[in-house]
Structure 1
Amino acid sequence: MPEQQNSLAASWIGRVLAGHRIEALIGEGGMGMVFRATHLRLRRQVALKLLPARLAADDDFRRRFEREAAIAASLEHPNIVPIYDAGHVDGNLYLSMRYIDGEDLSAVLRRGGPLPVERVCALLGPVADALDAVHEAGLVHRDVKPGNILVAANARRGEQVYLCDFGIAKASAGDHDITSAGQYMGTAQYSSPEQIEGKWLDGRSDQYGLACLAYRCLTGEVPYPRTATHAVIFAHLTAEPPRVTALRPDLPPAVDAAVAKGAAKQPDHRFPTCTAFIEALRAAVIPPRPQPRPRPQPHPRPRPHPAPAPGHAPPAPRPAPGGQPRRVLPPTLPLTEPVAPVPAPAPAPEPVPAPPAAPTPGPTPAPTPDPVPDPAPAPGPSAVPTPLEVRAARGENDPSVTITWTPGGPEEFEYKISRRTPDGRWRVVGRTTHTAIVDGAVPPGAPIPEYEIVARLGDRFSEPVVSTAVEPVEDSEETGDSGFPPVRHLAVASADTLVFDWPDGITEAMVVVRGDRPPTSPDDPAATRWKITNMRYQLDGGLRIPASVPRPCHVAVASCQRDGGALVVAPAFDRTARAVLP
């Protein structure tokens, strides 16, 4: 395939398309090839993006390409690559834009490694301002990643940063989504949970990608380094935002707080704008400049202000770069850890005086103070149901430890997860409203540590529950001799969702359900079966059992493989592929 692409690109060199002489290939992507070209009439260099004829004939690809031209051409911002021309010639769609003589952010990171916070803010600050302009226009970029950020040196203005490639952008309101239902578009390492789940998007989705990109710039690694794409997607849905200081201990904890808020799972928990996120990141390392003490001034005599003439409006606010009015952002608030309320001690009861003793001859002993009873213990908060079936397991190809549990009640709880360190102390891993969390701070090869889970509902807390370590189980007689990679580590992540380790090479799974006892084998004649594809697992984060199935019930999952047009089911379950659905 690369040889064919190189041959196709070479065939365009020297040709003239829509008044552009194509000179050299400068980039390739999912939407086509980008060439350096010369506009013959205007005599200037441009970047010419070309969609091959076989894709131009596809209605869906053509609509996406035309949308990129319309969206990018409608935006006026100094940090957005401007569009000169677009059209359709000889069965080919083309897009002519400004040629940026520079490199993308990926090349900067490969050459420079982890960057200082000031450098990251200098690079991503213009990108954040450009994204805010995109969002004010009612659009969402949807693919914020290093390859779509260009960095160029300018002799007069220094370093210039540009945001490019709106090929998968979509309107956030008042327009039809050109992406098919259930189709996932974007780059997995920088995609927000709502984008993965196919929900309605707004500018806060781009802020999530920008926060993931900031983590990459600060640490040199992507936020969720996983070998399999579905593991990356599941981490975006369930794992707590990673801590920058785990790889950069030289940075203050405020950097962790800013990145965690920008990459929060819920859009409402993020910053109001992308610029506000960058400002919080900058404020984490650059203290505010002290304001000079104002000198006392005499109070001037008030002068009457003339009333505005009829028909004259007050002056408009000074426009920001790019022609758009600068919005006044609310001040960001520091992130605080939730603290359990300390109950006030009950008042001590009044001491009861003892009756006077009869006088006795001899010296009078010193009086003994009356004993005061200890104050009654303060009434603690009402108990919250403790989490059930707390397990900590590590995948065979992933050093991260996944902690799962089952809610102790029907309410939606907040959970605090702590890890026991080698010196016996408990260190907080994170807080979540889900029933699973991934801890990537455990070194590969180290034993699975103990984890403590505490559920919280308002100001009430549960008793702490310590996890049980589940080591990977080798193939046994139960998994049969079929050679199928078995499904393992089945757990109930919520009232109707099953989570497990999906093995490589398996594209479908069979869920077997019984109400009376655990299923004995995948061909259990008295069981109900569903076949759910791997793509459904990637998008939903788990296998969802229909609400029509009576609870409680026993569930088990078996691997499946396609052999021609037939579905072949593994002959047995793995010993860890069974659970109870409450």
Structure 2
Amino acid sequence: MPEQQSAAAGWVGHVLAGHRIDALIGEGGMGVVYRATHLRLGRTVALKVLPPALAADLDYRRRFEREAAIAASLEHPNVVPIYDAGHTDGVLYLSMRFVDGEDLGAVLQREGRLGIDGLCAVLGPVADALDAVHEAGLVHRDVKPGNVLLVRAGRPRGGQVYLCDFGIAKGATAAGSDITSAGQYMGTPQYSSPEQIEGRWVDGRSDQYGLACLAYRCLTGEVPYPRPEMAAVVYAHLAADPPRPSRLRPDLPVAVDAAVARAAAKHPDHRFPSCSAFLDALRAAAHAPVPRPRPRPRPTAPYPTSTPPPAPPHLPAATPLPAATPLPSATHRPAATHRPAATHLPTSGPPAAPTRRITPDEPVAAPATLPLREAVDTPAPDEQAPGPTDVRAERGTGDRSITVSWTAGGPQDVEYKVTRLTPEGRWHVVGRTRSTSIVDGAVTPDARIPEYAVVARLGSAVSGPVRTPPADDPEEPPGGIPAVRHLAATASGTLAFEWPPGITEAMVVVRADRLPETPDDPAATAWKITNMRYELDGGLRLPSSVPLPCHVAVASCRRVDGGLVVAPGFDPTARTTVGA
């Protein structure tokens, strides 16, 4: 450990990607965080440097930049803003706002535990931020005290609560598909959900489980399952009863127990529909009747040495498909029949909330996917900033990310806001910059280059949007839905295929006797999967309950007016046999 700390401190004084590293802030298993100065802008930032082993993996670099771009587009007052991300000299780095404060772990060490009102004041903004992260298609995967930052009193934004370090440095969402070490999962065991530990399907409800464990820690001063061995902690998350704070805090209303137990339910379907709904239940519990004092129970005895706890389940090497669902027809069907009743990863389509005018300095909790007139600032006729010219978008030759560049319209130091046109016809905020280029890593290498718009802002003056030339429309098979292509499988049942542009969901269809002919084949078994899930994991594995050999096909799906539309057929390259 001293050698690692010495190596981390050795970066102080060096310049990395235009940042002068000033001091070491913290160090963990997924990187080192420094206080640094952006030399060109003269701005103090927090610079996270990731392990070289991750930078050496081209697939991880692509996923890291894609998720960093998504995270940078989040405009939420309780999400630490990301300024830049990339790789240079064999190092992956992430530049974000420097928060002058302390993390929640330090607060709990000093104060011991919080009351319900104090808990809701801290975790309420965290819940809102997590819901925004989930709406953007990310999963945090590591909700814990160290990732909740509180600005010191007396500083700018004093009392502000920030959520940091979400998703972009955690590898895959499945236990066995982490690119750094097979058989391990990324996260903190004391706050990890059962599905994350087992390598099952992970969505925003997994973060809600971690938030419930964090709430328990804040109320009681202890983690939910204090055990002497890590294997015992893992087993408790899988099999023990949900934690109840009143066992250590008899003064708490029983409604607090009910809220925490529901958010920490073993099955995701039994939890609240969102993290904010969980916090609303805690706020309501604060005014519930307090039970009569009862004696404090004896501490739970540790596992006897003669009877060790059962070993945790085997962690798979790739993400298994979720439980099979009935096959949909190729026509509209209500979305509720294809996804759990609780919060799930977002689907494509316009946001339900009404759009409104957004300025570059105004944080919003809604997803940054808007019409062009809302995603950019519409200038008044007499308030024009020097707009950009010659806006273009090109793929890189190395990592295949898209670089959007333009020519400045004048010598002034203006701020540029860049948006991307989605396949659904909405404008998504890519980020802001004062340079004349920005890298968008959120578009997969096999997708066509989308259309971008760039707006300049100088004080209160804003230019009109300047757009890149639109690309040609992709070819679509009969039915008007781009097809999944190039399905390949290993003998163990791990699937890999290419997502077409504009498609966020697909149907995996399996038959035992022959190749499926259509997606609604009555003799087949089917699973619905999402693009975000696949891109994060890099592979999908057939459940062990599917006997091999078997025949597999994949059809594209699309959300239309809230219903799921499945392509009527398969691309010829999207059918294969597994384990023959």
TM-score (norm. length: structure 1): 0.48
State the structure with bigger RCO (CA 8 A, min sep 6), 1 or 2: 2
- Structure number with greater Rg is 1
